[in-house]
Amino acid sequence: MILEKLRTPNGKKFLLSAFVVFVIAAVVVGRATFGGVVREYNLPYADWTTSMFVLQGAMVFVYSCIFTLLFAIPLGFFFLGSDNQR
């Protein structure tokens, strides 16, 4: 049932909008996370270890997924809701 809704034109719009939300969240959270470490600790990227990049990247990924899920709820109602509500 859900896959059938996602194959409709509105379902494709929903997936595209969720992807756009993920990209925007990743850019904003990534800038805040990586830039925050550089500014707060005066630690340039050249001094970072590989594990620091991996941990910060994982944190950006997790937070971006959470923001995407939170914003997908109203997007789902808007794009995948019943046509009677419009």
The domain limits of the chain are 20-80
CB neighbour list of residue 59: distance below 8 Å, 6 or more residues apart: 29, 33
CB neighbour list of residue 14: distance below 8 Å, 6 or more residues apart: 6, 72, 75, 76, 79, 80
What confidence tens digit (pLDDT) does each residue in 3-28 have? 888 999 999 999 999 999 999 999 99
What confidence tens digit (pLDDT) does each residue in 62-74 have? 999 999 999 999 9
